[in-house]
Structure 1
Amino acid sequence: MSGILAKYVAPSVGTIVGAIMLLSPIKAVWEIRKTKQLGEINPLPYPMTVVNCVSWVIYGAVAADPFIAPANILGIVAGLFFTMTALPHCTQKLQDIIQGIMVFSGCLFGILSMIGVFALDSKGIKQMWGAMSVAVVIIYYVIPLSTMIQVVRHRDASSIYLPLAVASIVNGGAWTVYGLAVQDVNLWGPNGFGAFTGCVQVALRLLFGAKKAREDVAHGRGQCEVMEIEHRPKVEHERQRSSVESLASWKQDDMSDSKALLPKASEQINTVQTEDGQGTKMKENMGANHRHSEV
């Protein structure tokens, strides 16, 4: 039973968790694709993912191990997609580094393949690609060490993503168990180191916590309060402005109505004056006729 767990269940768990870890940058990469900006994302792990997974696929092939290749084939595809998405938005310096990694690793794999074909037997080929895979994955695991040094120095573990650190423990532990079961030092050696680095990251996160995240939350609350205080006089000002505009509009409408009534009033006055003038003339004519009749 223990043999089944170690030789079949453990590598299956390692394959699933490893695939999840390899796909974990998808959200950040999709943000790069959407915004066309790199922001604060470091793209260098993406080409290293390709190099690491290619070396393990080759090692899985020469070692005739069916559990090694599947997750790493997925890692090659994901790493290439991540690299090609981020590359156009990198600075010239980062582009040169990424291109250098890809070209150098391609040349190195080509040279090692030629050495394996013409100079080594099957055992030597396995040892060569095993050493290559271990070297690459150690570099892959050493990268977080610089982050850990900064965590201890600043006593702030906000840069450590806890779920990913836990996944590193599970993934490294599963492959370590499998490596010990099949007696392959190329599997249990680097993966044991990876599980150890994951444990250190979890311990640092629990010890120091996310100081920066707490400060950001406090700063965000302070900003909300300031914005609310600043917003109050603006609201009062808008109300006063609205009242003044309403009063001005009412006066303007009143003046417009008055202007509209003026022509009508003038017309009525003219009509009255005309009628008065006609009445006066009629009276004068009647008076003249009366005097004429008397004569």
Structure 2
Amino acid sequence: MVNTDSIRTVVGIIGNVISFGLFLSPLPTFVKIFKAKSVEEFKPDPYLATILNCIMWSFYGSSLVSEDNILVLTINGIGFFIEVFYTLIFFTYSNWNKRKKILIVLFIEAIFTVVVIFCTLHFVHTLKQRTMIIGIICIVFNILMYFSPLTVMRLVIKTKSVKYMPFLLSLANFANGLIWVIYAAFRWDPYLVIPNGLGALSGLVQLILYACYYKTTDWGEDRPQFEMSKV
């Protein structure tokens, strides 16, 4: 019989694939930004939040903090570089006010990262304690990553338009949260279950909003190449 560790590994690999899809899902948005040479009404919040989220989860998945979480480390390490790339594009095509906001947030994130890693490695000496401390921090920032689209969701409700809420990103958020909840359930890791459960819920709400406001959206020349009946 296949043991639970093997199943957990397979689920983790599937989670890596879905997470990779999540990280790549904003590509159509950045193609649009590149062509327009402007970020228009798109927000940098999700990408800035995800950078810090990836850093913290990479640290959590390392052998310095937890055991047997290499799949958490690998996908978040990859995600970090992808999100930095997105942020650089966003920075390039933003006005000065948005650039200033991006720089301030990145500076704060860098200082926070250095302080957390230094304090954890020098003042916390057991893996159990490190897992708990970094796990709680990861929960907070994973929630920020998943719920950072709230600013966009408010815009959707206000304008009755989903033009600036990418469908693929919402779908990937939902699927990603769900698969990592399953992964964490095999060895009951609450630090993975709680934020990813909320992430799946956030993605579901976004999909519901998309279904509600798709028909009232003025797409112009940007209508997606799929039918809502297939969603």
- Number of residue-to-residue matches in the alignment: 216
Task: Tell me which of the two structures has the higher relative contact order, counting C-alpha pairs closer than 8 angstroms and 6 or more residues apart.
Answer: 2
2: CA distance, partners of 1:198 / 1:81: 23
Q: What secondary structure, in the 3-state scheme, does the structure 2 residue paired with 1:90 have?
A: coil
Matching residue within 101, 105, 117 for 1:113: 117
Q: CA RMSD in A?
A: 2.6
One-letter amino acid of the structure 1 residue matched with residue 114 of structure 2: G
List aligned pairs for 1:4-153, cutoff 5 A: 6-61=7-62, 62-64=65-67, 65-122=69-126, 123-152=128-157
1:163 shift after superposition: 3.6
Q: Identity of paired residues, percent?
A: 23
Per-residue deviation, residues 160-199 of structure 1 (Å, max 9, x unmatched): 4444333222211110011111111110110011111122
Aligned to 1:179: 184
Per-residue deviation, residues 18-72 of structure 1 (Å, max 9, x unmatched): 1111112223324444553333332333232221111111110021311102221
1:15 shift after superposition: 0.8
One-letter amino acid of the structure 2 residue matched with residue 176 of structure 1: V
1:155–1:85 Cα change, 3 Å: closer
Aligned to 1:204: 209
List aligned pairs for 1:278-289, cutoff 5 A: none
1:159 shift after superposition: 5.0
One-letter amino acid of the structure 2 residue matched with residue 68 of structure 1: V
One-letter amino acid of the structure 1 residue matched with residue 206 of structure 2: Q
Matching residue within 164, 170, 177 for 1:165: 170
Q: What secondary structure, in the 3-state scheme, does the structure 1 residue paired with 2:198 have?
A: helix
1:6–1:156 Cα change, 3 Å: farther
Give the TM-score, by structure 1 length.
Answer: 0.65
Aligned to 1:227: none
Larger % of helix: which? 1
Unaligned runs of 5+ in 2: 224-231
One-letter amino acid of the structure 1 residue matched with residue 15 of structure 2: G
1: CA distance, partners of 2:7 / 2:205: 25
Q: Is the 8 A contact 2:135 2:191 kept in 1?
A: yes
2: CA distance, partners of 1:157 / 1:83: 22
Give the TM-score, by structure 2 length.
Answer: 0.81
Unaligned runs of 5+ in 1: 221-295
2: CA distance, partners of 1:41 / 1:150: 10
Q: What secondary structure, in the 3-state scheme, does the structure 1 residue paired with 2:42 have?
A: coil
1: CA distance, partners of 2:160 / 2:118: 49
One-letter amino acid of the structure 2 residue matched with residue 170 of structure 1: A
Q: Greater Rg, structure 1 or structure 2?
A: 1
